[in-house]
Structure 1
């Protein structure tokens, strides 16, 4: 009996020693991770103190995109973002740095005016069904419309922006309205804007390896006269202008009005300016037929249709305006645009405890600029894949989308950088109180220096 009790005591003592060693190992590991997090935070803080313009590089496999930002603009975006969050006016799909910046520019960086403009935009989008218009609306009459309103995207300018072209002199509003209606054409107009934001801009950004958020537009007014300015045409132009200025501001980089004769300059151009704001007018150059070659300073000849002085004919596609030529038709580029894995992130902290990994980072939505819905999976079924982008369950801690630890260690193309698109995290935390306090400490420190909340 005494021998049995002695053996039992020995086993119990060994178990206590093992548990103590495990506790000591865990405390040591947490202490080490705290030091790493503090060092990372200090580096992050130092980077935020830099002034002037700064360059941010994002990388997805085989892609590096440069984004140059102004410190004052960035500060204004941060302030606007926080106020929109406080008022519950920032849906996930619109939580994007460059989108917020465009609206700020449209209101001369007046925060309250920008918030009002933003709120009006959200109300309009909900009523118009804009968030789903790419899937819900089909413009079957497109080919016929192009016969009486020749238009389309064709190529990019020398800096990589998409080039949009309209041949207004060949437009026939009365014939156009026999094929479609103003309401349907406006829906098509909005749909194309959404396609540009979510596909063309991201594709051009990948191709140019720099952030692309605006277009170069060419309006060919050769043959344009009073016959083109019917009541229908005026109403359509006014409606499109309101949509562009109110809901898609600051997407125009520059505009060329080409083949402008004396009659256009004296009569039509002064009338057209009534529909435009001063900022837009400042971006417009009016070129006479003899000055058409000036386009080649901005657009390479291979990207410019022959009827505008370029060398492109798109003969195989039936003409340039029907070809939709551009990086958005490159299958390899579009794989990245539509690939949910192609996101830009900056690593903030990485904490491991036992079998669970805790990652805190900022996740930007895919290059196409659209946020995919966060899907839900049953907890416990895929614990080994704790960073699965399709996994989500309830959590008592505010978290952001995780980054695979293995990718950081083994993938030479993996790069984590900063942007301003946030998402909730998809894995529940089941950690002890010490780790919970540590994560909250990291959250508070991050928010202090960045102005962002991880919530």
Structure 2
């Protein structure tokens, strides 16, 4: 081989080596960049996960699937809630655990959207909760006499209606207040009543919302007056009902969707009900249906037979649990659903705002703990920044696990169940004392 040929071959080998070195260097730089990006992604993911855990104050179980809940809001109501919220913040009267859109809305509705009256009602509620120890009553109070109490005051939650609301049932005609007070006291029963209201807000409503995939914030109530008479009325009963009336109307407003007074005889419909209506406004009356024993089938129009006790015309007996009013049947007993209730990061809320012209505008669809609704009530904007936790447009979250009642389609005046019961008992005693024979 000639010298020139040898030099040419060497030159080609050197070129290939340089190219190889360049390619290797590029690969190394590429791998380095990929490694850097992976590291940044992992760090970002770690920070994001840490921020979620810090916000939720509990470990996130990623094995729990997410569920979508639809939240429909009214644009004018949003404006009112925002105004109320700003005023409460200025007064220092909005603790983080109560910084909740739908809770504020309930109190506004209870005071006909009068801001000043709502503020007064709100601050009285905060004072009462502090004095009563309401925030920890689920953990602090134990009502060991419940089974005996149910013998003389049959009542409880059982199943859901066809729209997913929990069904609450009371057999008022089977209540024996004097015997009840041999088992418990008025103070202990009031503690139990408050505890059950808190349990409904924090567990039953969220569980029903998950099962129905829409916000559930109110109950369908059935009041059974069969057998109602003088035995159901006493001074003790009046004192108890008066105390419960104060609690329900002042501190838990706007939680009733519809009431059915069932097994009402001719005496109730002809005498007691007309007299009672004089103390109720027209919107409240619109929430109440009176059904005699032959009209119980109408309950099946709103409640499936499998969710309705047999003594009300349904097919459920809950024989294994000792009867329907002892079973506490409902989505809140489903372990899979309750995992979602207690897992703060497992719920997506699709918020929709209803405009005055009737149109719906899509606001956001984002990861949002079901039991946390501590948000700025200004209308959100559509866009990707709704999912950005650092975005100023994103709703602010708070650590308190609480589901507040939300906007319902039926916008009626609040009805106080206990007040109605009181009226029924009072008029019953009056008519019986006067010698009138009533058939219930």
TM-score of Structure 1 vs Structure 2, range by shorter chain: 0.5 to 0.7
Residue equivalent to 1:192 = 196
Encode CA deviations 1:76-98: one digit per residue, 9 max, x unaligned.
11111111111111111111111
Give the distance between the partners of 1:148 and 1:314, measured in 2 at CA: 19
Larger deviation, residues 195-204 vs 234-243: 234-243
The 1:131/1:262 distance shift into structure 2, 3 A limit, reads same
The 1:253/1:238 distance shift into structure 2, 3 A limit, reads same
Alignment of 1:340 onto 2:315: no
Q: Alpha-carbon deviation of 1:273?
A: 5.9
Give the distance between the partners of 2:342 and 2:247, measured in 1 at CA: 26
Q: Alpha-carbon deviation of 1:213?
A: 0.6
Give the distance between the partners of 2:146 and 2:372, measured in 1 at CA: 25
Alignment of 1:156 onto 2:145: no
Residue equivalent to 1:315 = 319
The 1:257/1:419 distance shift into structure 2, 3 A limit, reads farther
Give the distance between the partners of 1:329 and 1:281, measured in 2 at CA: 33
Give the distance between the partners of 1:62 and 1:322, measured in 2 at CA: 31
1:101 to 98, 102, 105: 105
Alignment of 1:121 onto 2:125: yes
> Is the CA contact (8 Å cut-off) linking 1:256 and 1:285 kept in structure 2?
yes
Q: Equivalences for 1:256-271 in 2 at 5 Å? A: 256-269=260-273
Q: Alpha-carbon deviation of 1:270?
A: 5.6
> Is the CA contact (8 Å cut-off) linking 1:98 and 1:213 kept in structure 2?
no
Alignment of 1:214 onto 2:218: yes
> Is the CA contact (8 Å cut-off) linking 1:362 and 1:420 kept in structure 2?
no
Q: Equivalences for 1:16-415 in 2 at 5 Å? A: 61-269=65-273, 279-342=283-346, 366-368=369-371
> Is the CA contact (8 Å cut-off) linking 2:341 and 2:371 kept in structure 1?
yes
Alignment of 1:422 onto 2:425: no
Encode CA deviations 1:394-441: one digit per residue, 9 max, x unaligned.
xxxxxxxxxxxxxx89xxxx9x9x9966338xxxxxxxxxxxxxxxxx
Of the two structures, which has the highest relative contact order with CA contacts closer than 8 Å and spacing of 6 or more?
2
TM-score by length of 2: 0.65
Q: Alpha-carbon deviation of 1:291?
A: 1.2
Give the distance between the partners of 1:158 and 1:102, measured in 2 at CA: 23
Give the distance between the partners of 2:398 and 2:234, measured in 1 at CA: 48
Q: Could you say what secondary structure the match of 2:289 adopts? A: strand
Q: Alpha-carbon deviation of 1:198?
A: 0.2
Q: Alpha-carbon deviation of 1:364?
A: 8.8
Q: Alpha-carbon deviation of 1:339?
A: 1.5
TM-score by length of 1: 0.63
Encode CA deviations 1:212-234: one digit per residue, 9 max, x unaligned.
01000101110011221111112
Q: Could you say what secondary structure the match of 1:179 adopts? A: coil
Q: Alpha-carbon deviation of 1:362?
A: 12
Note the aligned Cα RMSD (angstroms). Answer: 2.9
The 1:192/1:237 distance shift into structure 2, 3 A limit, reads same
- Higher-Rg member (1/2): 2
Q: Alpha-carbon deviation of 1:121?
A: 0.6
Give the distance between the partners of 1:85 and 1:179, measured in 2 at CA: 44
> Is the CA contact (8 Å cut-off) linking 1:154 and 1:320 kept in structure 2?
yes
- Gaps (5+ residues) in structure 2? 1-63, 351-363, 375-386, 400-440
Give the distance between the partners of 2:102 and 2:259, measured in 1 at CA: 21
Q: How many residues align?
A: 310
Q: Alpha-carbon deviation of 1:284?
A: 1.5
- Gaps (5+ residues) in structure 1? 1-59, 347-360, 372-407, 425-455
Q: Alpha-carbon deviation of 1:268?
A: 4.2
Encode CA deviations 1:55-104: one digit per residue, 9 max, x unaligned.
xxxxx934110111111111111111111111111111111111111111
Give the distance between the partners of 2:235 and 2:145, measured in 1 at CA: 22
Encode CA deviations 1:11-59: one digit per residue, 9 max, x unaligned.
xxxxxxxxxxxxxxxxxxxxxxxxxxxxxxxxxxxxxxxxxxxxxxxxx
> Is the CA contact (8 Å cut-off) linking 1:198 and 1:369 kept in structure 2?
no
> Is the CA contact (8 Å cut-off) linking 1:257 and 1:284 kept in structure 2?
yes
Encode CA deviations 1:136-160: one digit per residue, 9 max, x unaligned.
1110100000000011100000100
